[in-house]
Amino acid sequence: MKAAMIDRPLEVLTMDLQGQTFALEAAQVREILDLVPVTEVPGSQPFVNGLINVRGKVVPVADLRLKFGMEQTEDTIDTRFVVIEIEIDRVPTIVGIRADKVHEVTELAPSALADVPRVGMRWRPDYIRFIGKRGNDFIVIPDIARILSSGSAEPANENLTLDRTTAGPAVASR
Amino acid sequence: MTPIDATETYRQEAQELLEQLEHALLEIGHRPGDADLIDSAFRALHTIKGSGAMFGFDRVAAFTHHVETAFDMVRKGKVAATAELVALTLAAKDQMRRLIEAPDAASDADGRAILDRLQAAVDSATVGAAPVESGAAAGPVTWRVRFRLPSGAMATGSNPLLLIEELRELGEATVTALTEQVPALEDLDPTECHVGWDVILTTLEPRERIEQVFLFLLDDMELAIDRVETCDDPPRPGEVLVARGDVKSAELDDALSRQAPVGKPLVETGTLSEDKLAGALAEQQHVRAASAAKSGSSIRVPAERLDEMMDRVGELVIAQSRLKQITASSDDPQIQSVVEEIERLARELQDTTMGVRMVPIGSLFGRFRRLVHDLSRDLGKEIELVTTGEDTELDKTVIERLADPLVHLIRNSGDHGLETPDGRAAAGKPASGRISLTARHAGAEVLITIGDDGRGLDRARIQARAEENGLLAPGAKLGDEELFKIIFEPGFSTAREVTNLSGRGVGMDVVKRTIEDLRGTIDVRSTPGRGSEVTLRLPLTLAIIDGLLVRIGRGRYVIPLTAVEECVELTPQDDLRSTGRSFLSIRDELVPFIRLREQFRTGTPPDPYQKVVVVSDGESRVGLVVDQVIGDHQTVIKSLSNLHADAASFSGATILGDGTVALILDVPQLVEDGRARDDRLKAAG
């Protein structure tokens, strides 16, 4: 969707990832959880290698930092999981998004939304829906469905999957 | 609450009735004189018509009215239920379904044509004065058997217990002892049997079969066998007593005038012994149960509500275990007992809720009778469908998703597997081909087998076709198992002609995809000239399982207990010796083992005393090396999202007592992984 097609204010939940402000569409957010124990899933893609319990449901946790080339720092007292419900590859899925800190629900006016610039970006442009502007600050509104879709695996991961079917990870790690 | 849509309710109800009708009609095909079946079909038609008119499905009502009229002739015995008539009524049933589900697409002309043919069939099949013999081999009948052994019977070696056992074997039986003739102790002759029995028996067997039980005693003994009418409205105890001849009508009226319950006053006045009253009450219960089984009382609940319920129960269980942890330090016995009570209730609730989702696979098998009937007609082959293991329970969602693959497999067996009648005669086989459908539990899996006694798979042709389609390199040599798997590849078909049933090369890949989605596997076996067999192995996903909780590194994992054979310690010697190939000798048998700590790359040092959990996938055994065996754990399986579809070592996840998530190991997959890695090591030398 183009930013120009947005005609009403977008309600978003803002959060921090390594000092950069990100925002998730408020309509997708189901709840925000404090830091809970995360179960690691061996053999899964690194950015979704955890599971948490959300009211009796087993929910995968996505760490967007890995998709945006950020450093993975230790959890702090501010770490939260934002539980969202989105369609991934046309399947409604509940996902927990790890956030360093959650701020607030706010409205972004259509005029404050811009499409992703084609140049001068260090992140994959298709991972970002809009760039929002608030004061002098930029807010990244990521395209979660796109990021989590199976078709957008990192090249490194694709290699891994290929290896598994032919020679296996033991060979790949040599 | 969601508002109730009357039209939708009618559709659902009609759906059920149409299934009931279809089932009855197909059974009538086998037992044309069965009055119960004819009644059941008639009732279904009648209800579809009646509620159709009520909910505004006027075309359905009008059409069904004519079918009902025709079928009423059968019910009254004026017309015989010929095969033609049954086939036409089935066609009429399909028309009704179309009128209900897609009224715009259903053509009235088709409907009229069916009705005309039905009328013609009724006219030609009208039997003059000979009514259809009814009730002969009908459904189960309830009998009241009252017997008392002749004097001296015990001395000649008769054992009333054996007689009762034999009666029990005939069907559902409720037994009451009649002790009113037992004399006072001083008059008691210990060599005589003073007790009589009332047995209420619901059985398919005829009356003669019951008499046979008493064959050797028949002459002297007291024996009364009466038929008990079962109906939706169970008889009142008073009526039962009169029917049994225990009480006269007048005595009953007298007792009734003294207010209910009827039994007490009769006993008080000495008209009736307490045993006889107990017998009558037992009979009433039995009849009520038999009627309930007949009408199959059930309610429809949307599956989502069951899912919601399961989630709530899951939360309850977790909350309960937190409560247990918090109160563990308390020494107030009152709190402790309440916590234990809640624990028990939560577990029972969990079991019941899981049980509600489980459905016997028979409900699915039933649908294929019609499919085979139609197949048989369209292909001009006689086909018999044999089903076993209908009681095998599977999660409802799994059963629903199995319907399509099974249709494809059965069609394939009928079309490609079974020979034409001439072909069968030439091969010296009975004219009627057989398709068998079997379900059974095996470990943590359900196996569903579709077999036929046809010509078997043609190796050479499959190979040739696969090479033609580029699915196989020319001249490649494959084992049976691998070669037969090719028939499930998209676009593969060996059929020379495309029939309307199969041969387009779609279908089998649908089977493969669906089964893989359910995390199942497919095995194919075939013997030329003898037939072939496709086995679907399905895990019991979405179900509750008993699991063994283990620790590997810092993570806790669940191994399905049904797959576990034993746990042994990994001795330091074995641990060190097995650097290249990992084998363990258990009672002189070599068992390969997998170090899960390495497989999962935990990056932790091993525990000093590692354990090996020996698991089996049904064929081969493998040891899983874990750091610690924690204990057993009731496991509610939660499926993993698509984001973790690539984590193949796990069949799902569960939530532990402390609220954290634990992964469930996929044993067949791990065994496979272990084998593959072993082969690689061997190849690398």
Tell me, yes or no, whether A173 lies in a domain.
no
Cβ distance B494 to B462 under 8 Å? yes
Q: Report chain A residues touching chain B, CB-CB < 8 A.
A: 36-37, 39-45, 48, 51-53, 55-60, 62, 88-89, 91, 93-95, 148, 150, 161, 167-168, 170-171
Element (H, E) at B616: strand B611-616
Quick check: B131 pLDDT over 60?
A: no
Query: For residue range B580-639, what is the model confidence (pLDDT) as tens digits?
Result: 557 777 888 888 888 888 888 888 888 888 899 998 876 678 889 899 998 877 777 787
CB–CB of A58 and B661 under 8 A? yes
Q: How far apart are alpha carbons B406 and B391 in whole angstroms?
A: 17
Residue B148 sits in the same domain as residue B76: no
Contact A44 B555 (CB under 8 A): no
Q: How confident is the model at residue A15 (pLDDT cuts 50, 70, 90)?
A: very high
Beta carbons of B527 and B417 less than 8 angstroms apart: no
Q: Which of A34, A35, A44 would you mutate first to test chain B, the one with the most B CBs within 10 A?
A: A44
pLDDT confidence of residue A74:
85
The number of domains in chain B is 5
Give me the pLDDT at residue B500, please: 45
Q: Which residues of A touch B682 (CB under 8 A)?
A: none
Say whether B318 and A56 touch across the interface (CB within 8 A). Answer: yes
Mark yes or no for CB contact A37/B660 under 8 Å.
yes
Instruction: Report CB contact under 8 Å: B643, A39.
Output: no
pLDDT tens-digit readout, B625-683: 899 998 877 777 787 888 887 777 888 898 887 778 999 998 888 877 767 766 666 66
pLDDT at position A94, please?
Answer: 92
The torsion angles phi and psi of B535, rounded to 5 degrees, stand at: -110, 125
Q: Which residue has the higher pLDDT, B325 or B660?
A: B660
Judge whether B600 is closer than 8 Å to chain A, CB to CB. yes
Q: Which residue has the higher pLDDT, B302 or B272?
A: B302
Identify whether the C-beta of residue A11 lies closer than 8 Å to the C-beta of residue A26.
Answer: yes
pLDDT at B128: 45
**Inter-residue contact B541 to B637 (CB < 8 Å):** yes
User: B326: domain range?
Assistant: 304-358
B603 interface with A at CB cutoff 8 Å: no
Same-domain status, B151 and B288: yes
| Nearest by CB: A45 against B641, B646, B661 | B646
CA distance B194 to B178: 9
Picking from A156, A128, A138, the residue whose alpha carbon sits closest to that of residue A47 is: A156
SS3 A111: helix
Find the CATH number of the domain harbouring B333: 1.10.287
pLDDT surpassing 50 at residue A172: no
For residue A4, the model assigns a pLDDT of 62
Question: In terms of Cα–Cα distance, which of B656, B654, B652, B655 is closest to B644?
Answer: B652
Helix, strand, coil share (%) of chain A residues, nearest 5: 25, 40, 35
Q: Which residue of A has its CA nearest to B556?
A: A39
CB contact under 8 A, A51 and B663: yes
d(CA B563, CA B541): 14
Q: Which residue of A has its CA nearest to B597?
A: A42
CB–CB contact B643 A167 (8 Å): no
Task: Tell me what pLDDT residue B190 has.
Answer: 81
pLDDT tens digits along B198-214: 888 888 777 878 887 88
pLDDT score of A83? 95
At B163, is the secondary structure helix, strand, or coil?
helix
- Comparing CA positions, the residue from B229, B232, B230, B196 lying closest to residue B214 is B196
B257 pLDDT band (50/70/90 cuts)? low
pLDDT at A156 over 60: no
Mean pLDDT of A25-34: 91
Using an 8 Å Cβ cutoff, are B294 and B630 in contact?
no
User: Does A51 sit within 8 Å of B661, measured CB to CB?
Assistant: yes
Please indicate, yes or no, whether residues B342 and B368 belong to a single structural domain of this protein: no
B623 located within any domain: yes
ipTM: 0.80
Over residues B513-565, the pLDDT tens digits come to 888 777 678 888 888 888 889 999 887 655 567 789 999 988 899 998 878 88
pLDDT at B224 over 50: yes
Same domain, B377 and B490: yes
Half-sphere exposure of B287 (CA within 13 A, CB side): 22
Q: Quick one: pLDDT at residue B240?
A: 64
Token code pair at residue B258: 């003294």
Chain B residues within 8 A of A62 when measuring between CB atoms: 643
pLDDT value of residue B558: 93
pLDDT band at A157; cut points 50, 70, 90: very low
Least confident of A45-59, B30-44, B399-413: B30-44
Question: Over 90: is that where the pLDDT of A96 sits?
Answer: yes
CA dist., res. A119 & res. B89, Å (int): 71
Instruction: Tell me what pLDDT residue B560 has.
Output: 86
Would you say residue B188 lies in a domain?
yes
Reference B134, options B35, B233, B216, B44; nearest CA is B35
pLDDT tens digits along B331-390: 888 998 998 899 889 888 877 887 787 788 888 888 888 888 888 888 888 888 888 888
Q: Are strands B589-595 and B583-586 parallel, antiparallel or unpaired?
A: antiparallel
Strand partners, B198: B146, B176
The answer, for B645 touching chain A at a CB cutoff of 8 Å, is: yes
Q: What is the pLDDT of residue B291?
A: 59
Domain shared by B418 and B556, yes or no = no
Which chain B residues are closer than 8 Å to A52 by Cβ? 661
Question: Both tokens of residue B550?
Answer: 């283990």
Q: Is residue B63 part of a domain?
A: yes
Looking at the partner chain, which of A40, A43, A48 has a beta carbon nearest the beta carbon of B649? A43
- Band (A164; pLDDT cuts 50, 70, 90): very low
Return the pLDDT at B47.
79
Question: From CA B128, how far away is CA B136, in angstroms rounded?
Answer: 20
> According to the model, what pLDDT value does residue B261 have?
58
Same domain, B186 and B87: no
Contacts of A171 in chain B (CB under 8 A): 680
Same domain, B160 and B263: yes
Residue A172 placed within a domain: no
Q: Which domain CATH number covers A48?
A: 2.40.50.180
User: The domain spanning residue B565 has which CATH number?
Assistant: 2.30.30.40
CATH code of residue B105: 1.20.120.160
Task: State the Cα–Cα distance between residues B470 and B491, nearest whole angstrom.
Answer: 11
The predicted pLDDT at position A155 comes to 44
Asked if the Cβ–Cβ distance from A43 to B660 is below 8 Å, we say no
Determine whether the interchain pair B680/A48 forms a contact, defined as Cβ–Cβ distance below 8 Å: no
* pLDDT value of residue B138: 53
Residues of B in contact with A55 (CB under 8 A): 311, 315
The Cα of B458 is separated from the nearest Cα of chain A by a number of Å equal to 30
Asked if residue B498 has pLDDT above 50, the reply is no
Distance of residue A161 Cα from the nearest chain B Cα, in angstroms: 8
Nearest CB partner across the interface for A52, out of B640, B661, B680: B661
Whether residue A106 is predicted with pLDDT greater than 70 in this model: the reply is: yes
pLDDT at B469: 76
- For B331, how many CA atoms within 13 A lie in the half-sphere containing its CB? 0
Q: Which of B539, B571, B604 is the last residue of a domain?
A: B539
Measured between CA atoms, how close is A37 to chain B, in angstroms?
A: 6
Domain-ending residue, one of B125, B153, B183: B125
Torsion, Cα A113 A119 A125 A128, to 10 degrees, reads -20
Separation between Cα atoms, residue B485 and residue B433, nearest integer Å: 24
Name the strands in the sheet holding B611-616, side by side, starting at the edge strand that comes first in the sequence: B564-569, B611-616, B621-626, B589-595, B583-586
Pick the residue with more confidence: A137 or B229?
Answer: A137
Q: Which of residues 303-362 of B touch A (CB under 8 A)?
A: 311-312, 314-315, 318
> For residue A160, what pLDDT is reported?
36
- Token readout for B386 is 């044999």
B59 occurs within a structural domain = yes
Count of the separate structural domains present in chain A: 1
Shared domain for B329 and B231, answered yes or no, is no
CA dihedral of residues B189, B192, B193, B194 (deg, nearest 10) = -40
- Rounded to the nearest angstrom, the minimum Cα separation between B598 and chain A is 10
Nearest to A148 among B643, B654, B676 (CB): B643
Residue A174 within any structural domain of the chain: no
CA A109 to chain centre: 22
Q: Which residues, including other chains, have CB under 8 Å from residue B333's CB and lie 6 or more apart? A: none
Instruction: Give chain A positions within 8 Å (CB) of B647.
Output: 41-44
Of B572, B571, B585, B569, the closest CA to residue B621 belongs to B585
Residue B548: the pLDDT is 92
Do residue A161 and residue B646 have CB atoms under 8 angstroms apart?
yes
Chain A residue whose CA is closest to B649: A43
**Which of B269, B295, B321 is the last residue before a domain boundary?**
B295
pLDDT band at A85 (very low <50, low <70, confident <90, very high): very high
Q: Is the pLDDT of residue B508 over 70?
A: yes
Residue B641, chain A, CB below 8 Å: the answer is yes
What are the two backbone dihedrals, phi and then psi, of residue B396, each rounded to the nearest 5 degrees?
-55, -45
Residue A3 is encoded by which pair of tokens? 């930013």
Q: Are A42 and B642 in contact (CB < 8 Å)?
A: no
The pLDDT tens digits for B392-418 are 888 777 888 888 889 888 888 888 888
Which range, A45-49, B325-329, B617-621, is most confident?
A: A45-49
Q: Reply yes or no on whether the pLDDT at A84 is more than 90.
A: yes
The two beta strands, A80-88 and A29-33, are antiparallel
B30-to-A68, B27, B364 alpha-carbon distances in Å: 69, 5, 20
Beta pairing partners, A39: A51
Judged against a pLDDT cut of 70, whether residue A150 lies above it is answered with: no
* pLDDT tens per residue, range B434-470: 899 999 887 667 899 999 988 888 888 888 888 887 7
List b or e across B568-579, with b for residues whose CB sees 16 or more CB atoms inside 10 angstroms: bebeeebbeebe
φ/ψ of B564, rounded to 5, equals: -85, 130
Substitution target in B307, B354, B557, B661 with the highest count of A β-carbons within 10 Å is B661
Q: Which helix (H) or strand (E) holds B305?
A: helix B303-327
**Residue A96 to residues A29, A85, A86, B319, B378: CA-CA distances in angstroms?**
10, 9, 11, 21, 54
- The conformation of residue B291, written as its DSSP 8-state character, comes to H
A45: chain B residues, CB-CB within 8 Å:
643, 646
Measuring CA to CA, which residue among B427, B448, B439 is closest to residue B530? B427
Q: What CATH number corresponds to the domain at position B474?
A: 3.30.565.10
What is the per-residue DSSP string for A40-75? E-TTS-GGG-EEEEETTEEEEEE-HHHHTT---PPP
In a domain, B131, yes or no: no
Percentage of residues of chain B with pLDDT beyond 90: 5
> CA–CA separation, B635 vs B655, rounded Å?
8
B516 CA to chain A: closest CA distance, Å? Answer: 16
- Mean pLDDT (whole number) for B265-282: 69
| Chains A–B, number of C-beta pairs less than 8 Å apart | 91
- Which positions in chain B touch A31 (Cβ < 8 Å)? none
Q: What's the pLDDT score for residue A171?
A: 35
B459 CB-contact burial (10 Å; exposed 0-12 / middle 13-18 / buried 19+): middle
The shortest C-alpha distance from A77 to chain B (Å) reads 19
How many other CB atoms sit within 10 Å of the CB of residue B542? 21
Residues spanned by the domain of A75: 3-166
